Amino acid sequence: MTSIGLVGYGRWGKHIFRDLRALGADVHVAVPSAASRAEALAKGAASVCSDCSLLPQVDGFVVATPTMTHASVLSELTSRERPIFVEKPMSDDLEQAQALVKAAGERIFVMDKWRYHPGVEALAARAKSGALGDILGIRTFRLGWDNPHKDVDAIWILLPHDLSIAYEILGYLPPARSAIATVPGQGHSNLIAVLSGPTETCQVTMEISAHHPVSRRSVIVVGSKASAQLADSYDDRIFIAEGVPGINASTPTHEHVASEFPLLRELRAFLEYIQGGAAPRSSASEGLLFVERVAALRRLAGV
């Protein structure tokens, strides 16, 4: 049985713990809170401790601590020479992220769960097959209310998701071109960001906000032959429309996709990697690329 050291047992760490156990892993939990340690033991943790340095020897680690602590926890764990899966972003500090990739990039992977969303995978497959023609644009919306992560602002929490989606679809990321706050003075929580280079044929436009009482998660891929959309994060289908609006547009159809949750799918991929399978998405170098784009867009927005 694969043994995992889970660092963090908070709001999201509890979901990770649940899915690791469902996948058959022995999970050893490191969390400062005595109440959280007691809860983890009651839910079936193999052992608990107060700090990641006290975890037993395991087959791999999953880091689900606050973003600002990712770099320090990763630095502590890299000496164990085991694979590490860390929640996105890898770090909120570009220099720290660069140092981590240089020191242990072959062992660190980033939990960009949207790359495992069946709908995003279906969009990527259509784009890469040529069914949509030349990819002209990708438009994403990640709108909701508040930011439950109090250590970093909404840009660091929301934007990496859409960067990873664009990367999954395109296989690369265009450079940062512009970023503006949609609410004056609130660029840390409301942003429209654009990726596009001087020779790019595709533009990626991402809108994020923590000021929308009604949540919206959507991805649209516009091609020269057809467009496709994942309309909502929990949809079990994507919509496809052949042709070009105003010229030869057809009636949209839909294609069903799997409904398995992305978190479970990415954790399964990590466990399979530990057991000798293919490396999970995203690599440390890809995680660093997403940190670089966030940092560049923040500068452009004056945040």
Q: What is the CATH number of the domain that holds 13?
A: 3.40.50.720
Find tokens 């909404």 and name the residue.
154
Report yes or no: 290 and 204 within 8 Å, Cβ to Cβ: no
Does pLDDT of 140 surpass 90?
A: yes
Does pLDDT of 213 surpass 90?
A: yes
Residues 269 and 247 grouped into a single domain: no
Residues 91 and 230 grouped into a single domain: no
Residues 171 and 188 grouped into a single domain: yes
Residues 122 and 108 grouped into a single domain: no
Q: Which pLDDT score is estimated for 186? A: 87
Tokens in use for 107? 């062992």
Residues 147 and 296 grouped into a single domain: yes
DSSP assignment string, the chain: --EEEEE--STTHHHHHHHHHHTT-EEEEE-S-HHHHHHHHHTT-SEEESSGGGPPP-SEEEE-S-GGGHHHHHHHHGGG-S-EEEESSS-S-HHHHHHHHHHHTTTEEEE-GGGG-HHHHHHHHHHHHTTT-SEEEEEEEEEEE--S-SSS-HHHHHHHHHHHHHHHHHSS-PPEEEEE-SSTT-TTTEEEEEE--TT-S-EEEEEEESEEEEEEEEEEEEESSEEEEE-STT-SEEEEEES-TTTT----EEEE-----HHHHHHHHHHHHHTT-PPPSPBHHHHHHHHHHHHHHHHHHT-
Q: Which of 63, 70, 60, 77 is nearest to 26 (CA)?
A: 60
Does pLDDT of 150 surpass 90?
A: no
Residues 53 and 140 grouped into a single domain: no
Residues 98 and 121 grouped into a single domain: no
End-to-end CA distance of the chain: 46
Q: Which pLDDT score is estimated for 137? A: 97
Residues 250 and 120 grouped into a single domain: yes
Q: How far apart are CA 166 and CA 7, in angstroms?
A: 29
- Compute the residue count for the chain: 303
Residues 130 and 224 grouped into a single domain: yes
pLDDT bucket at 200, cuts 50 / 70 / 90: confident
Q: What are phi and psi of 274, to 5 degrees?
A: -60, -35
pTM of the predicted structure, to 2 decimals: 0.96
Q: Which of 289, 293, 287 is nearest to 90 (CA)?
A: 287
- Domain total in the chain: 2
Report yes or no: 284 and 110 within 8 Å, Cβ to Cβ: yes
For range 30-58, the mean pLDDT: 97
Average pLDDT, the chain: 96
pLDDT > 70 fraction of the chain, expressed in percent and rounded: 100
Residues 215 and 169 grouped into a single domain: yes
Q: What is the CATH number of the domain that holds 246?
A: 3.30.360.10
Domain enclosing residue 230, as ranges: 114-261+292-301
Residues 171 and 215 grouped into a single domain: yes
pLDDT tens per residue across span 85-118: 999 999 999 999 999 999 999 999 999 999 999 9
Residues 226 and 208 grouped into a single domain: yes
Does pLDDT of 249 surpass 90?
A: no
